A = this chain, B = another copy of it.
Amino acid sequence: MTDNSNDPLVIFTPSGKRGRFPAGTPILSVARQLGVDLDSVCGGRGICSKCQITPSYGEFPKHGVTVRENALSEWNPVEERYKSKRGLIEGRRLGCQAQVQGDVVIDVPPESQVHKQVVRKRAEAREIIMDPATRLYYVEVAEPDMQNPQGDLERLLKALREQWSLENVIGGLRTMQGLQKALRDGEWKVTAAVYSDRNGTPSQIMRVWPGYYDGAIYGVAFDVGSTTIACHLCDLITGEVKASSGLMNPQIRFGEDLMSRVSYSMMNPGGAAEMTTAVRGAVNSLIGQVASEAMISTEDIVEGVFVGNPVMHHLLLGVDPVELGWAPFALATSDAMSLWAKEIEVSMHPDARLYVLPCIAGHVGADCAAVVLSESPHLQDEMMLVVDVGTNAEIVLGNRNKMLACSSPTGPAFEGAQISAGQRAAPGAIERVRIDPVTKEPRFQVIGCDHWSNEPAFVDLVGPAGVTGICGSGIIEAIAEMRMAGIVDEDGAIGSREAVGTARLIEDDRTWAYVLHDGRVGGGPLITVTQLDVRNIQLAKAALYSGARLLMDKMEIETVDRVVLAGAFGAHISPLHAMVLGMIPDCPLDKVSSAGNAAGTGARIALLNSAARREIEAVVRAIDKVETAVEPRFQEHFVSAIAIPHKTARYPNLDTQVTLPQVSFGGGSGGGEDGGRRRRRGRG
């Protein structure tokens, strides 16, 4: 940049950066000097076309300039050759070829920006800015010289240093083994993929192609859940998701939930190793699937990011999770890990690097860290409560000033286990329920059909036998609706047929059950919500609520500004019903949202943006970890959270949406916590 006011003025959009540069300066060079984000892999040699820009001509009163037709140097043979071979959008120029001649306004289209933004579907979600750890660099390497017998590798490293300012790069054995051929095949020009972890360790050349490499490089983002393992294959240049796939976690055969898998490891010598083999097998099978869907070789995958709860994290890494099975729930490692894919037998490029997000605590895993990265409470002023509901609820509360986290033992009720008609979320499962407060008649939707059960099309499409059970979100809605219709009282007791006045109530083991669906005449099941179901959901929701409440105590706040429900369960839950039930603390209903698979998204962010890795590491270090098991207040909150109280006491923000009737059936049919507990024991 020069102060000479006779030099042409160059203004970039959208950045607004501007400066005066001598006539003849290439636009790419101007962009670099101004710090404008304009991509280039070939370093301005007219090969890669990543530096495309669009000059604008005419009057720009806003900028105070007039751009004449000759503001840039003439269209040149390099651009002509590129256009005829590969095509160039009308009006575009190559930034490395077009030179400044007069005042000019230059637009950098998104695809020419290195740090381009990856579009996310949710409007409120944080942007993903491309800043991958692995990048391509085209270099011209000096030919060997007998007078100066440096190795080929050393001359490549010199070229990276001189042409790209890449310091502290190491070659690695595999690079060296293939380098001499690549250099000679490419006539001393090669493209190198360089991985920079940016945490003080040297950068690493992952791969070298002869000449200019015009292809893509890929990474995979994994969310290794107890039930499902999900994988996204991403283009590390564009950020695009090229393929996604999921699999049931094959460890399910060792135990449905986490603790039964930990027990399996305790009881069976070699059990942990078996489970490690199983999960790595699933990971490799998913990599094969996404690579085949995107029609690429698994060798083109140079990076992977993994998140998972602590038990899955340990099993994936080959660590026996036995210590997570008892207090003090000691993690083998809590920090983020950087390792070679081959160290955990993951099939990608042989030199591929993996990054595993940090764990927050013994029960709050790397998956929760990924949710934090995706939802970013630490970047906001609003006090955000993030709840990832599973067998354990992982709960984070905070804003840019302070972050707290805990886990709460909700048990598997929210996943449909411990519920009489409970089932996993699968076609045929009731997931939405409405109960008419006057007639007490229900209607519902099942997974796989958009019609309500009282619509004629439902009978045709699903029929009485097509309804198979209730999934987690269905049981939440059913019980909340039962409460709102006056079928359940504040203590969680289901009223008798006489008290409530509906034939939908049937006797069940000395208590009452509410019939949601009677498919028996059509060969289907009788689906009821039993007193025990209500008790189990009460215990689960009380655990969840009291975890959140404990964090609010520690934060010294009475309300939160925003609630985010993460995870597959959170994606399907109705915020209204969750609040009626008292699962989550009070919050304006429009400030309660679902983040979908936020853990998977967090993994994707860490894959596409290496600065985000340092960010989440710092955030996790700064999070205050609260251990519910040793907090007396957790027990107090838990006991008082078992009830399903009148909304005016706890849900002021629900005023406009629902009105709960004042109901009480007396103590007769087994209300209150103790009744439920006794019954459970009696049955067990």
Query: Which residues in A have some Cβ–Cβ distance to B below 8 Å?
Result: 143-154, 168, 171, 173, 176-177, 179-181, 200-202, 317-320, 322-323, 327-335, 337, 339, 343-344, 359-362, 364, 625, 627, 629-630
Partner of A152, one of B200, B331, B629: B331
Cβ-defined contact, A173 with B334, below 8 A: no
Cβ-defined contact, A625 with B332, below 8 A: no
In the assembled complex, the Cα of A195 lies from the Cα of B369 at a distance in Å of: 31
Cβ-defined contact, A318 with B149, below 8 A: no
User: 4 closest A-B pairs (Cβ-Cβ)?
Assistant: A144-B330, A151-B334, A149-B361, A151-B331
The residues of B that contact A337 with a CB separation of less than 8 Å are 173, 176
Partner of A149, one of B147, B202, B317, B360: B360
Q: How many copies does the complex hold?
A: 2
The residues of B that contact A359 with a CB separation of less than 8 Å are 149, 151
Partner of A332, one of B146, B153, B317: B153
In the assembled complex, the Cα of A181 lies from the Cα of B330 at a distance in Å of: 12
Cβ-defined contact, A154 with B344, below 8 A: no
Partner of A335, one of B154, B181, B202: B154
Q: Please name the residue on chain B nearest to A363 by beta carbon.
A: B149
Partner of A202, one of B151, B171, B201, B323: B201
Cβ-defined contact, A146 with B319, below 8 A: no
Cβ-defined contact, A176 with B146, below 8 A: no
Cβ-defined contact, B625 with A148, below 8 A: yes
The residues of B that contact A153 with a CB separation of less than 8 Å are 332-335
Contact of A168 with B319 at beta-carbon distance under 8 Å, contacts A144-B328, A148-B625, A333-B176 already known: no
Partner of A146, one of B146, B149, B362: B362
Cβ-defined contact, A168 with B200, below 8 A: yes
A-B contact pairs, 28 of them (CB 8 A): A144-B323, A145-B328, A146-B327, A146-B362, A146-B627, A146-B629, A149-B330, A149-B361, A149-B362, A149-B625, A149-B627, A151-B332, A151-B335, A152-B323, A152-B333, A154-B335, A168-B200, A173-B337, A176-B332, A176-B333, A176-B337, A177-B319, A177-B332, A179-B332, A180-B319, A180-B323, A180-B330, A181-B320
Cβ-defined contact, A625 with B147, below 8 A: yes
Cβ-defined contact, A317 with B147, below 8 A: no
Cβ-defined contact, A319 with B176, below 8 A: yes
Q: Please name the residue on chain B nearest to A168 by beta carbon.
A: B200
Min C-beta distance of A112 to chain B, whole Å: 35
Min C-beta distance of A108 to chain B, whole Å: 36
In the assembled complex, the Cα of A168 lies from the Cα of B181 at a distance in Å of: 37
Cβ-defined contact, A147 with B177, below 8 A: no
The residues of B that contact A168 with a CB separation of less than 8 Å are 200
Cβ-defined contact, B173 with A344, below 8 A: yes
Q: Supply 8 further A-B pairs (C-beta < 8 A) apart from A146-B327, A148-B625.
A: A144-B323, A147-B625, A149-B360, A150-B331, A151-B330, A173-B344, A176-B337, A180-B319
In the assembled complex, the Cα of A595 lies from the Cα of B238 at a distance in Å of: 60
Q: Please name the residue on chain B nearest to A343 by beta carbon.
A: B173
Cβ-defined contact, B173 with A317, below 8 A: yes
Cβ-defined contact, B200 with A318, below 8 A: no
The residues of B that contact A328 with a CB separation of less than 8 Å are 143-146, 149
In the assembled complex, the Cα of A63 lies from the Cα of B327 at a distance in Å of: 59
The residues of B that contact A630 with a CB separation of less than 8 Å are 146-147
In the assembled complex, the Cα of A457 lies from the Cα of B467 at a distance in Å of: 107
Contact of A173 with B360 at beta-carbon distance under 8 Å, contacts A146-B630, A168-B200, A330-B151 already known: no
Cβ-defined contact, B201 with A147, below 8 A: no
Cβ-defined contact, A154 with B627, below 8 A: no
The residues of B that contact A334 with a CB separation of less than 8 Å are 149-151, 153-154
Min C-beta distance of A185 to chain B, whole Å: 13
Min C-beta distance of A47 to chain B, whole Å: 25
The residues of B that contact A144 with a CB separation of less than 8 Å are 323, 328-330
